[in-house]
Structure 1
Amino acid sequence: MSLPLHARTRPGTPVPEHEVLDGLPPVREVSADEVAARIARGPRLVVLDDDPTGTQTVAGVPVLTSWTVDDLRWALRQDSSAFFVLTNTRSLSPEDAAVRNREVVRALHEASAAEGTGYVLASRSDSTLRGHFPLETDVLAQELARLGAGPVDGVVLVPAYIEAGRLTVDSRHWMRTSGGLLPVGESEFARDATFGYRSSSLPEWVEEKTAGRVAADEVLRITLDDLRGGGSAHVAALLLSLHRGRTAVVDAVCDDDLRVLALALAEAEQQGSRLLYRVGPSFVRARAGQTARAPLTPAQLRPLRGDAPHGLIAVGSHVSLTTRQLDRLRERGSIAEYELDVTLLLDTERREAHIAEVAAAAAGALESADAVIRTSRTLVTGVDADDSLAISRRVSAALVEVVRRVNASRRPAFVVAKGGITSSDTATHGLGIRRAWARGTLLPGIVSLWEPVDGPAAGIPYIVFAGNVGGDEALADALDLLRSA
């Protein structure tokens, strides 16, 4: 008998894709139109996004960075099967993340009753498994029960992100690299200072993250055999077997797999099952009945541009991919680059002067070049996870303040924010965005463009660019497209 792939793989060494993907069951094709018809007039999908990057697989979807009852009622009234609420909880402490989730659900429950519109909740998080799990789904389940919505029967975990190469096969989660597929537990993301982990097998990851509260063998595994062989009716029956908040993990290699799941979820929920979703970006597109769309064109971008000849790029992400993308952007030229020195930002006496100097220089540069504001590339961490988060928030606040001052002085043609926490804080605090529409992407399935509805950023396209997506040329390619508009 041959050993399983993970037993034959040296830690940190990618596996050729064919070793993972060859021999899988044939794809069961399901159209987005079939899903859209199935969910029509059903409950609205409300996506609580722990950073803004979950919008990068959809188009024509409302986005909220505020969760007042009025904001939520506005979103519920829009002609869209789904909308996003940007909670930014990945940047918060566990205690603050719990409070924020409760606030959103309470306001949503009131807005839903006022509008007469039902909803289902998706807790959208990182496709490389970073974030507050199981805390967020635990809190959502508790709050729904407190509000009288009934107990949650199951938590459905679907971290796949197809375009970025985050795939789940036989309940094992992989990420695509230049050398092949790497188990996510062996990636740099698994070594995250705040959300680190060891397991690539999703049932084992659930056991690890719940500190043994949920044993791996208690997790329901919905595999490609179930999705492609059994189809939606079979998967719906599996979902209906979930009770008392049991966790299910779901395979996915392509959008059709997720659309089979979407049909099954709709059927199970129609039969009375109450489910919470903990998902990556691709699930949202499938569950909303959307298909993958081509990137926006220069003609579509042109009417969205702001006043200045050039745009602003704020870079907070520290992952190695972002650093390589910055290197490629420099090679193509036509940028003015300004560094926010983290050591100065953590120095109370020198912080303000440093922020003011960088903001003034970047605003002046917009007449002649795209201005890049980046944090220094050396990652500064704290003594523990909470301390590391606090440092990240302090650095992010400085970057955001620079963006706010630049926009107040000279409105850019566009704003690009690189990194999850960076893009969330820039949207809410740097540009004052409350309501927006996700209009599409600059690259296939990644790099979302928002059109702000109101506030200081109205009339300026805002580009959400995660730190961990795209190839080395992706940032430069996105800028070339924006410049061509």
Structure 2
Amino acid sequence: MECKVIPFQTAAERDKTDADKAEALLSKAMEGFHKKLVVLDDDPTGVQTVHDVSVYTDWEEESIRKGFEEKENMFFILTNSRSFSVEETTRVHLDIAARVAKVARELGQDFMIISRGDSTLRGHYPLETQLLADGLTKNEGAVVDGEIICPFFPEGGRYTMDNIHYVKEQDNLVPAGMTEFAKDKTFGYKSSDLTEYVEEKTAGKYKKEDCITISLEELNALDIQGIKAKLISAKDMAKIIVNAVSYADLKVFCTALVLAMKEGKHYMARTAAAFTKVMGRILDQPLLGKAQLEGATKNGGIVLIGSHVKKTTDQLNCLKELDGQVDFMEFQVNTVFEENGLEKEVERTVKAAEEKILSGRTVVIYTSRQLLAPENMTPEEKLQISVKISNAVTSIIGKLQVKPKFIIAKGGITSSDVGTKALHVKKARVMGQVKKGIPVWMTGEESKFPGMPYIIFPGNVGEVSTLKEIVEELI
């Protein structure tokens, strides 16, 4: 099928799976299914669809053990590996595979690893899942039969039809390979067809024609046995592409998946956040409002914007309509090329922000939108520069001496670093979402500001007005 822009309504037109029947099928399949779901999150936005689950911000054996010992059937480990080099992500994923296998063996607990990746297909793929599969084989002796690839995420406007993955932009669905995300300097790609994406990303090791594909037609027909047979045929980390335009589609697929696992097959998953919601059996709950998110302090709040994608810039420009009600400060990223430039910029920003917050004003700190990087920089060097800038921006929260009434961090790497490096969160509880796809952590007792709602706003989620709406409600 040709990759072209199609009307957004196409997703609704192809939503034909009976939701009630899909839910009944999955509920029945889940009876007696006791695998612990270990979700590795390559940035902190993977909890976009869940609530009342724990997120651990390190992967020490002790944290993994605590996750396994919780009564819930799923826990998250925030790796933030999208900001890692290849070497670092390799070391971390081999460590995690070994520790998960060891803890599971000692506790006698079966498990499945879900590598929660970006719904716009960026990140260290296929490196991470291959490392995990190799690590589990080495430490467990279990060979992974198949890898589920399911970037469907309706909260963010991501749908997969006829193996083509689409991203909602205004009233259209744009093939992922035609979006700004595909032009990512570090994780760029060309293919929108997921079978071709697999071949592209694996440099031909896995051919497009060898992918196992689960079509919307099979899901609409509730063809559990046919889908299960396809899953059972998988071996040697075969790539399994899941089409979906609704949660009902995903429930049908997960029914077949659970039944295949009950028959002893082993799978790993590289998916967006919708898959974790379905497999974790997370029920819908209302969006969080001011009542749940407002702290006792009379201080102002702080919004930190690090993401540079166009969507974030558009949202920032819309937020600027609140100029006068909130105070805007531009953090100059090009000071990275000056000696001690970033340190001075941080100092200036913190001092100004504290004065405003103490006076009850909410502050928006945003990075200047254009990095004037030398043309001959390699992708690795560009990543290192962006990490340096991210560290500086993050340190603004870490250096604050006054407790804001709320914190919003915009952008995956920014929000992860704020949570772990600035707020020193070791374990957070996911409260829910403030808007679709925008999660809120409740910080733990060990953190810099304990018991504080922390809003994690992904760079690539929301409408143009979403950030403004959240800030407007909280100020």
With the length of structure 1 as denominator, give the TM-score of the two structures: 0.92
In structure 2, relative to structure 1, the CA distance for the partners of 1:370 and 1:35 (3 Å cut) is farther
Q: Distance in 1 between matches of 2:93 and 2:306?
A: 25
Q: Distance in 2 between matches of 1:36 and 1:424?
A: 34
Task: Say whether the 8 Å CA contact 1:441–1:449 is kept in structure 2.
Answer: yes
1:209-242 CA-to-partner distances (Å, cap 9, x unmatched) read 0111111101111111122214333222211110
What amino acid sits opposite 1:482 in the alignment?
L
Q: Distance in 1 between matches of 2:11 and 2:363?
A: 42
Query: Aligned match of 2:248 in 253, 256, 262?
Result: 256
Q: Distance in 2 between matches of 1:33 and 1:103?
A: 38
Query: Aligned match of 2:302 in 303, 312, 316?
Result: 312
Query: Aligned match of 1:219 in 204, 207, 211?
Result: 211
Q: Distance in 2 between matches of 1:145 and 1:95?
A: 20
Query: Aligned match of 2:231 in 228, 239, 248?
Result: 239
Query: Aligned match of 1:171 in 158, 163, 176?
Result: 163
1:340 and 2:334 matched? no
Shift of 1:399: 0.6
What amino acid sits opposite 2:8 in the alignment?
E
1:404 and 2:398 matched? yes
Which residue number corresponds to residue 80 of structure 1?
72
Shift of 1:436: 0.6
Query: Aligned match of 2:6 in 2, 15, 20?
Result: 15
**SS at 1:121's partner residue?**
strand
In structure 2, relative to structure 1, the CA distance for the partners of 1:21 and 1:443 (3 Å cut) is closer
1:408-463 CA-to-partner distances (Å, cap 9, x unmatched) read x001111111001111111110110110111100013x110001123213121111
**SS at 2:154's partner residue?**
coil
Q: Distance in 1 between matches of 2:300 and 2:22?
A: 40
Q: Distance in 2 between matches of 1:23 and 1:345?
A: 48
Task: Say whether the 8 Å CA contact 1:67–1:85 is kept in structure 2.
Answer: yes
Shift of 1:384: 1.9
Q: Distance in 2 between matches of 1:76 and 1:35?
A: 23
Q: Distance in 1 between matches of 2:242 and 2:124?
A: 19
Query: Aligned match of 2:432 in 412, 435, 440?
Result: 440
**SS at 1:57's partner residue?**
coil
Query: Aligned match of 1:392 in 382, 386, 401?
Result: 386
Which residue number corresponds to residue 369 of structure 2?
377
Query: Aligned match of 2:440 in 435, 449, 452?
Result: 449
1:289 and 2:301 matched? no
**SS at 1:205's partner residue?**
helix
What amino acid sits opposite 2:265 in the alignment?
S
What amino acid sits opposite 1:329 in the alignment?
L
Shift of 1:18: 4.1
Task: Say whether the 8 Å CA contact 1:35–1:287 is kept in structure 2.
Answer: no
In structure 2, relative to structure 1, the CA distance for the partners of 1:329 and 1:207 (3 Å cut) is same
Query: Aligned match of 2:319 in 309, 318, 329?
Result: 329
Shift of 1:144: 0.1
Q: Distance in 2 between matches of 1:54 and 1:81?
A: 16
Q: Distance in 2 between matches of 1:331 and 1:84?
A: 36
Q: Distance in 2 between matches of 1:82 and 1:337?
A: 39
Query: Aligned match of 2:350 in 359, 364, 369?
Result: 359
Shift of 1:293: 2.5
Shift of 1:99: 0.9
Task: Say whether the 8 Å CA contact 1:122–1:278 is kept in structure 2.
Answer: yes
Task: Say whether the 8 Å CA contact 1:355–1:402 is kept in structure 2.
Answer: yes
Shift of 1:76: 2.0
Which residue number corresponds to residue 123 of structure 1?
115
Shift of 1:166: 0.3
What amino acid sits opposite 1:112 in the alignment?
A
1:162-217 CA-to-partner distances (Å, cap 9, x unmatched) read 11110001111001111411101000101000111111000000000011111110
Structure 2 unaligned runs (5+)? none
What amino acid sits opposite 1:293 in the alignment?
Q
1:42-91 CA-to-partner distances (Å, cap 9, x unmatched) read 11111100000010111111101111122122222223221110001111
Shift of 1:247: 0.6
**SS at 1:403's partner residue?**
helix
Query: Aligned match of 1:157 in 122, 145, 149?
Result: 149
What amino acid sits opposite 1:454 in the alignment?
E
1:289-342 CA-to-partner distances (Å, cap 9, x unmatched) read 12332201333334xx26352211111000111111111212023222222211
Q: Distance in 1 between matches of 2:338 and 2:20?
A: 57
Superposition pairs of residues 191-206 of structure 1, within 5 angstroms: 191-206=183-198
Task: Say whether the 8 Å CA contact 2:154–2:245 is kept in structure 1.
Answer: yes
In structure 2, relative to structure 1, the CA distance for the partners of 1:231 and 1:369 (3 Å cut) is farther
Task: Say whether the 8 Å CA contact 1:70–1:111 is kept in structure 2.
Answer: no
Which residue number corresponds to residue 56 of structure 2?
64
What amino acid sits opposite 1:402 in the alignment?
I
**SS at 2:441's partner residue?**
strand
**SS at 2:6's partner residue?**
coil
Which residue number corresponds to residue 190 of structure 1?
182
1:355-378 CA-to-partner distances (Å, cap 9, x unmatched) read 111111112211231111211111
Task: Say whether the 8 Å CA contact 1:434–1:454 is kept in structure 2.
Answer: no
Task: Say whether the 8 Å CA contact 1:39–1:266 is kept in structure 2.
Answer: no
Q: Distance in 2 between matches of 1:74 and 1:436?
A: 13
Task: Say whether the 8 Å CA contact 2:22–2:252 is kept in structure 1.
Answer: no
Q: Distance in 1 between matches of 2:381 and 2:336?
A: 15
**SS at 2:269's partner residue?**
strand
1:149-170 CA-to-partner distances (Å, cap 9, x unmatched) read 4111011100111111100011
Shift of 1:380: 4.7
Q: Distance in 1 between matches of 2:146 and 2:273?
A: 20
Q: Distance in 2 between matches of 1:371 and 1:195?
A: 32
Task: Say whether the 8 Å CA contact 2:329–2:364 is kept in structure 1.
Answer: yes
**SS at 1:313's partner residue?**
strand
Q: Distance in 2 between matches of 1:426 and 1:31?
A: 39
In structure 2, relative to structure 1, the CA distance for the partners of 1:275 and 1:344 (3 Å cut) is same
1:349 and 2:340 matched? yes
1:272 and 2:291 matched? no
In structure 2, relative to structure 1, the CA distance for the partners of 1:227 and 1:462 (3 Å cut) is same
